[in-house]
A and B are shown apart, each in its own frame.
Chain A
């Protein structure tokens, strides 16, 4: 709201009404179109009695199986057909499985020229010693971008589903839920806190190591992010919401994932424009084996790791609190 205009004047302007409609505080169509507020539902005793009798009669007719020959016949046919269907399904699956190529055979269709090319030219083209990371974040970086977005969208959906009304916060319902939640929580458990104090730093450092070394050894953004998320969950369980919310709350999560996903998009679209179609990429690949090598893979790994760690932690918090 602009400070130059008084609130009374501002309420008459068009932008105020638009913002009200946008935030859902006022419905401009209420009362002007056919839409009308609902009336409370009421019925007298006679109709209630009639309705109940009709309902009971209906149930009697439906569940009177002993005198209904058709229903008995149908029951028998149903059982026979369900058994037949199960046998058919199992047989189909077994036949399909027996047709699969044997596990690990060199002449399987999986071992075609695509895999051979990845293995032969992967190090040269992507600069990553770990071929898997080179494949995920360079040849198929677009797929990984989609996967990270799926994670983010899943969290957004849960956020929307579990959202609390601001006006209802602090009322009886919410407080009761929180109390119930507290009952099962360890109250300053000494064992848990000591273990967490010793274990959480190594877990988080291992996660960071897995993310940063994704292009050199086993690991990568997703696994490292999951490790960090698990460490954060352990910390939260030991010390409670108050301590974790100092450094990680809903706003932090939103900004973090937005920045990481945006960074990924920018970096990868830049790479698509410069590196695809056999145009030379501007970013140097560096010496294989050094930590600052393999072009964009390190940056993309960090982005994916941030998104995954935030998502895991936020999922847990949302399920735990019922809201965020």
Chain B
């Protein structure tokens, strides 16, 4: 269990660094999502399932969806070239 915990914590650090280093905003949000998911697993290992449920629902679910909507509103998510040819 100790090793598993260390792997998860290392994953958290890698995620946190790569969120700020990634140049694509969409990728940043996806990495942030996985960060929250791993965080909720860590909450379970720390014996607080209450927090784990909330983290999974709010951190990984709703926050990232709100980020996606914001990216769409500021036109940071572009359509792919094939789709543009279709229209």
Q: Enumerate chain A interface residues (CB-CB to B < 8 A).
A: 130, 132-133, 181, 183-184, 210, 217-220, 222-224, 226-227, 229-230, 233, 312, 315-316, 319-320, 322
Contact = CB atoms under 8 A, between A and B. Distances in A.
A278 to B, nearest CB: 29
Contacts of B62: 226, 229-230, 233, 312, 315-316
A210 B54 CA distance: 11
A227 B65 contact: no
Nearest to B77: A184
A230 B57 contact: yes
B53 interface: yes
B81 interface: no
B39 to A, nearest CB: 14
B61 interface: yes
Given A210-B53, A223-B50, A184 B65 contact: no
Interface residues of B, number: 18
Contacts of B79: 183-184
A220 B66 contact: no
Interface of B: 48-50, 52-54, 57-58, 61-62, 65-66, 69-70, 72-73, 77, 79
Contacts of A322: 73
Nearest to B47: A218
Given A184-B77, A233-B62, A316 B54 contact: no
Contact of B54 (A183, A222, A319): A222
B66 A315 contact: yes
Contact of A132 (B50, B65, B69): B50
Contact of B50 (A218, A315, A319, A320): A218
A316 B67 CA distance: 10
A219 B50 contact: yes
Contacts of B50: 130, 132-133, 218-220, 223
Contacts of A218: 49-50, 52-53
Contacts of B57: 223, 226-227, 229-230
Contacts of B54: 222-223, 226
Contacts of A316: 62, 65-66, 69
A312 B59 CA distance: 12
Given A319-B70, A322-B73, A233 B65 contact: yes
A272 to B, nearest CB: 25
A271 to B, nearest CB: 22
A316 B73 CA distance: 12
A223 B53 contact: yes
A226 B66 contact: no
A93 B35 CA distance: 24
A226 B73 contact: no
Contacts of A217: 49
A320 to B, nearest CB: 5
Contacts of A219: 49-50, 53
A184 B70 CA distance: 13
A132 B54 CA distance: 13
Contacts of B69: 316, 319-320
A97 B20 CA distance: 23
Contacts of A226: 54, 57-58, 61-62
Given A184-B77, A218-B49, A223-B54, A230 B66 contact: no
B83 to A, nearest CB: 9
Nearest to A317: B69
15 contacts: A132-B48, A184-B72, A218-B53, A219-B53, A220-B50, A226-B58, A227-B53, A229-B62, A230-B57, A230-B61, A233-B65, A316-B69, A319-B70, A319-B73, A322-B73
